[in-house]
Every structure is written in structure tokens, then in C-alpha cells.
Structure 1
């Protein structure tokens, strides 16, 4: 089971945030982070980071985000996560 975690991080650029998040397996996610600018009221440089993680890694991942001074952490459960190929279809076709 996977979860989607979004956290707001303060930083100089999306690249600097990506380096921070990718430096730790727990916060890197299964594919990597999606990073987008947060247009804050005080014009600070905040970025929203969203990653998909394994459910059993949630608490350590949240601890790591907190060590990075993340705020506004939210967790949601996606109904489905689709990859580029369907394992079930590949099995039916004998390609697995």
C-alpha cells in the first residue's frame, strides 16, 4: 500500500529542494518528488513537495521531513497508482 505525502519546504530554488529531498531514501518517494512553488502571503520562497511512499515508511518519512523543517505536512491515500505497464495484463499475455 502506498501513500501520498505533501510537505511545504523553504528553499532557494526547486533544485535545492530536490537535492534535499532526494538525499534521503525515505523522502525521495518511489519515483522522485513533484515540486511546485507555493505563492505565500509574505513572498517567501516556499515549495510544495509531493512524494509517493510505502505505507510502512510513513512515520520515518514524516520525521525526516520535519528534520528538513517542513511544515503543513499532509497524507492522502491514492485509490490507484498506475505504472506504464499493467502487471495483470502482462501476466495474461504471458510476458511476465
Structure 2
């Protein structure tokens, strides 16, 4: 993962569980642009799968402060890690 994604979030004024995206935006706890960014990422995954017939990554993480986006490529190692499977034995 991108190290910026592991940085702790600033403390919330009060618990934000159950608040809508609009409420979080008004409280300045969520960027106005995050839904647009996530929609673009989802559209790209859909395009790869439906139009191209392939997926090249299994996860995409994004942060807007600072702007950064990383994707995890689909590899045997990544799939084993994602699904908790044992490491492949080499012969």
C-alpha cells in the first residue's frame, strides 16, 4: 500500500457512523471529489472486464491528500495473500 494511506486520520469531532457522504462532506471529513474518483475507478474496472474481457488489478487504493492512487496487480502471490491461501511450493 501507499504509505500515505496508512497515516492515521485526524480525530473526528464525534462518531461519524451512519452519516451520509453529503453529511461527511459538510463536516469536511470527506472530500467533495472522492465519489467522483471512486466512480472513475469503478468505471475503469467495468471497462476492463466487460469491454476488454480481462482484469489486471484486484484492488485500487486512493487518497486525495496528497493525491495518490495505487493498484495491486493480479498475480498468484497477490491472490494467495488476498484469500489467505498457502504459499505455492516450488519443485
Higher relative strand content? 1
Q: Normalising by the residue count of structure 1, what TM-score does the alignment of the two structures yield?
A: 0.20
Higher relative contact order (CA 8 A, sep 6+): 1
Higher relative helix content? 2
Q: Normalising by the residue count of structure 2, what TM-score does the alignment of the two structures yield?
A: 0.21
